[in-house]
Structure 1
Amino acid sequence: MSPTQHLAGKVAIVTGSGRGLGLAYARELARQGAAVVVNDVDAAVADEAAASITDAGGKAVAVAAAVGSTETAKALVAAAVENFGRLDILVTNAGVLRDKSLLKMTDEDFDVVINVHLRGTFTCVREAYAYFKENNVPGRIITIGSPTGQRGNFGQTNYAAAKAGIVGMVRTWALEMRKAGVTANAVIPVAATAMTKTVPFFQKAVQAEEKGEPMPEFFRKELGFGTAGDVAPLVAFLASDAAAKVTGQAIGVGGDRLQLWSHPEAVATEYHDGGWDFETLVEQFDSLFGAKLQSVGERFPELPAELQPEPAAK
């Protein structure tokens, strides 16, 4: 356990914390002194995650439930209060993927991702904020975004919509919660997870982590790509009193890199007397805005030869 215990006496909920990034967040919060409500849809996984925290000297209980419904949100807040007497921190990490290009994506593919990521964040934050406000707790809301929500990504209509929506909600909540002393922020992690293991570009980085070896510096520095453990300290920081003045922000972290994402701003502005008619747009749009059109998707630098993925076995 941490000798500093910056979160001693605090109680946190971390959704989707049975494994991966969520478990790293829960363990770091516990290491800093917080009691943690661990959540996963799989009861055995949730119990094992909670046990790993208590075995290390922390405090944790498990709640097995699918995030999305108001009932689950209420159950998570109730578990925090009933087991530890209060709630101070909510981390909304639960998520699923159903990646398909637009014409192959079904209604169910879209709905399940939106339900867990976007609706699950909304219902859990609404319930936690109601508790904070009623009990005069200067709580901390930490949501999890994604570079896909910031930049878009092929085959992820549902995921991009959910993650962009989460950041939009965070900006609104920062306004609504300010008077109550509650902060709301989004973390944009870039880390080796089950979701990135299948991406050939990250093959060498994932292989290094699985072997317990340091990731090549190209990934950690050039790409800002690291481990779940690289992301967790930012979550704990945002949960602490040290971040009391940080709210409404989208903060990226991965490997050795920390980033503050900008909010959308107009990059070019032009005026036309009487408004913009069709003919004027045809004549002037390209000369006014053509060179300033914004890029989409992430652009990665070329991998060095020694880090190129190995060809798939036939």
Structure 2
Amino acid sequence: MDLSNKVAVVTGSGQGLGLAYATELARHGAAVVINDVDRATADAAVATITAAGGRAVAVVAPVGPTETARKLVAAAVEHFGRLDVMVTNAGILRDKVLWKMTDDDFDAVIDVHLRGTFTCVREAVLRFREQGEGGRIIAIGSPAGQRGNFGQTNYAGAKAAVVGMVRTWAMELQRAGITANAVCPVAVTAMTETVPIFAPYIEQMKQTGELPAVIRREVGMGTPEDVAGLIAFLASDDAAAITGQAFSVGGDRLALWSHPQLTATAFHDGGFSADDVAAQWPIVFADRVESVGEEFPEEVLAK
């Protein structure tokens, strides 16, 4: 996988998943713009990449504002001459149940995840179109956006919207040779350490350095490095025909999420009154309702 002719921006790449993505892109030859809100963290990430022979610079700024998006694209062009890949990874959590979630809790998460994805992709696409050589949008989603998750109204809403934007961008950008895909990773990070069901397994990993097979395969959860290979692939020329897709990746599992489809349909001349709906519900729809939330193996739930 040769990315030596590519330049990538990875938001939120000072540590965790973002750093794994940036490191993997650099390992395959890409020049990388690192982004973080903390100068020391960003500089350490750059040092890690350059010490391994890679090329990287840092932009220290919070993702969300258009100004930051412009700084990121400008840094790529100033230091490396172009931009080919935008990976929108930056994120924060403000988890609370609906009735306890404040406006600030909601707005902060939406600003980073949703607005940050929008502003960074918009600026990247402006540059891609100017260059006239296509480009790669890799937007980081989450299983929470696909299935919902308790206590994550803000996060799940933002991540669901990210996938919706990717599907739209895939249509809008196709003629320009720009692909847009979403990646929904599951990995041991500071963000997943707060999830109670994962806590004993993460503790086990800290003690032994390993996760059990049921977690790596059935849950699809592993290390940040387990996710990074997909990012490098989607950034490559080999992925030029792949667009509008949502991937699930983690541990030993790689999968595609389906797009929403109609699962049950009824027809009634003249439309449906409330009584018509009530009559059709048990016949057509009652046994076709779908579950919400992530579904885990019994072995995991019982631990």
**TM-score category of the 2 structures, normalised to the smaller one:** over 0.9
- Residue 72 (1) aligns with residue 64 (2): no
Which residue of structure 2 aligns with residue 181 of structure 1? 177
2:150 — aligned with what? Answer: 154
Q: Is the 8 A contact 2:166 2:244 kept in 1?
A: yes
The CA deviation at 1:200 is: 3.0
2:282 counterpart SS class: helix
The TM-score with structure 2 as length reference comes to: 0.97
Q: Are 1:209 and 1:227, in contact at CA under 8 Å, matched by a contact in 2?
A: no
Q: 2:132 aligns with which of 130, 136, 146?
A: 136
Residue type of the partner of 1:207? E
**Alignment of structure 1 residues 1-314 onto 2, 5 Å:** 6-211=2-207, 213-303=209-299, 308=303
Q: Which amino acid aligns with 2:22?
A: A
Q: Secondary structure at the match of 1:197?
A: helix
Q: Partner of 2:266: helix, strand, or coil?
A: coil
Q: Structure 1, residues 81-137: CA drift from partner, whole Å, max 9, x if none?
A: 001111000000000000011110011111010000000000000000000001112
Distance 1:282 1:102 in 2: 30
Task: Render the CA deviation track for 1:173-222: whole Å, top value 9, x for unaligned.
Answer: 00000000000000010111111112232234323433462211111111
Contact 1:252 1:259 in 2 (8 A): yes
Deviation at 1:34, TM superposition (A): 0.3
Q: CA deviation at 1:304?
A: 6.0
Which amino acid in structure 2 is aligned with residue 55 of structure 1? A
**Length-normalised TM-score, structure 1:** 0.94
Give, as a single letter, the amino acid of the residue that structure 2 aligns with 1:167: V
Query: What is the percent sequence identity of the aligned residues?
Result: 64
The question of whether the paired residues in 1 share the 8 Å contact of 2:266 and 2:280 is answered with no
Q: Aligned partners of 2:60, 2:85: CA distance in 1, in Å?
A: 19
Q: Runs in 1 of length 4+ with deviation above 3 angstroms?
A: none
Rounded Cα–Cα distance in structure 2 between residues aligned with 1:277 and 1:78: 56
Instruction: Read off the aligned partner of 1:100 and give its amino acid letter.
Output: K
Mapped contact 1:140–1:238 kept (Cα < 8 A): yes
Query: Please, what is the CA RMSD of the aligned residues?
Result: 1.3
Secondary structure in 2 aligned to 1:168? helix
* Structure 1: segments with no counterpart, 5+ residues: 309-314
In structure 1, distance between residues paired with 2:300 and 2:49 = 39
More divergent stretch after superposition (211-220 vs 91-100): 211-220
Instruction: List per-residue Cα deviations over 1:1-40 (Å, max 9, x = no partner).
Output: xxx5x10121000000000000000000000100000000
User: Which structure has more helix as a fraction of its residues?
Assistant: 2
